[in-house]
């Protein structure tokens, strides 16, 4: 039986590339998504990957969603915590809701998914957790105190959970993408984005497939000695 992977936020952007890359490598993949039914339906039809709707920021919904995936596809052995949102704005304009939502989904989602899937991984003595952090969690970013804090939190979460999983065959790693050609980055005002791209030594935005390749590397059978690490894939923009 092939290993089952859940990719949160898996029907669009970086998550979509992660799903198709893992599927091409022979994993059984489930994509979770929160809102866009139409995109999820198109994704599932086109790529033959099942999509499941739940909010990763909702603890109970994660427990129930992961339970459903394991009943339908098999025990979940790989979790890729990719789901994330931005609510950018400078601190003096940022609302409490903008702070709470980003923390709830981006960081809370990692906790909720790990709570749902880590116990089974421990029992079976094998697991892979890959958390999608961000260059902006490593370096900070103008207009993103919420997002940078949540992503920075993901990097700490990764290192702590890696220590708990190490003796039971469960690795936990992070990828810190730079600016990738997705809808999220396309939402950055054009003059600002131009300034950002000018700071990328490779001279372009990254492709979602370039992040997916890193995820597949960390999920492999042969990656059992890699844990607690952060793989930065950012075109040289930030060398950490």
| 68 binds ligand CAA per the rule CB under 6 A | no
Helix (H, G, I), strand (E, B) or coil at 55: coil
Task: Tell me how crowded residue 179 is: count the other CB atoms within 10 A of its CB.
Answer: 22
- Sheet hosting strand 4-8, strand order edge to edge: 50-53, 28-33, 4-8, 76-81, 127-132, 170-177, 230-233
Number of residues that bind ligand CAA (CB under 6 A): 22
The tokens for 71 are: 């009943």
Does 134 bind ligand CAA (CB under 6 A)? Our answer is yes
Closest residue to ligand CAA in the complex (CB): 143
208 near 236, Cβ under 8 Å? no
- Cα Rg of the chain, angstroms: 17
Nearer to ligand CAA, 127 or 177 (CB): 177
Q: Which is nearer to ligand CAA, 11 or 70 (CB)?
A: 11
Q: Is 147 a catalytic residue?
A: yes
Site string for ligand CAA, 142-161 (x = CB under 6 A): xxx--x--------------
Of 56, 185, 208, 216, the one binding ligand CAA (CB under 6 A) is 185
Does residue 74 belong to the site contacting ligand CAA (CB under 6 A)?
Answer: no
Alpha-carbon distance of 126 to 179, in angstroms, equals 32
Q: Which one is catalytic: 27, 147, 179, 240?
A: 147
Question: What is the closest distance, in whole angstroms, from the C-beta atom of residue 84 to ligand CAA in the complex?
Answer: 8
Could you give the C-alpha distances from 137 to 83, 141, 152, 170, in angstroms and in order? 15, 8, 4, 24
Active site residues: 147
Site residues, ligand CAA (CB under 6 A): 86, 88-90, 134-136, 141-144, 147, 177, 179, 184-185, 188-189, 191-192, 195-196
């Amino acid at each position: 039986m092939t290993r089952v992977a859940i990719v949160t936020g898996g029907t669009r952007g970086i998550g979509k590339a992660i799903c198709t890359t893992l599927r091409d490598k022979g994993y059984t993949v489930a994509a979770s998504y929160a809102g866009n039914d139409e995109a999820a339906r198109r994704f599932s039809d086109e790529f033959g990957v099942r999509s499941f709707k739940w909010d990763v920021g909702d603890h109970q919904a994660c427990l129930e969603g992961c339970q459903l995936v394991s009943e339908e596809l098999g025990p979940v052995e790989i979790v890729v915590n990719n789901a994330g949102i931005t609510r950018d704005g400078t601190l003096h304009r940022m609302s409490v809701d903008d702070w709470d939502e980003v923390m709830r989904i981006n960081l809370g989602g990692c906790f909720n998914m790990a709570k749902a899937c880590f116990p089974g991984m421990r029992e079976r003595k094998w697991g892979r957790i890959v958390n999608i952090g961000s260059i902006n969690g490593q370096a900070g970013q103008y207009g993103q105190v919420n997002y940078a804090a949540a992503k920075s939190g993901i990097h700490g979460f990764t290192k702590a959970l890696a220590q708990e999983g190490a003796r039971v065959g469960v690795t936990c790693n992070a990828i810190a993408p730079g600016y990738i050609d997705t809808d999220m980055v396309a939402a950055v005002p054009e003059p600002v984005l131009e300034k950002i791209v000018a700071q990328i030594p490779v001279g372009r935005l990254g492709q979602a497939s370039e992040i997916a390749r890193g995820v597949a590397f960390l999920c492999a059978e042969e990656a059992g000695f890699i844990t607690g690490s952060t793989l930065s894939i950012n075109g040289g923009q930030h060398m950490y």
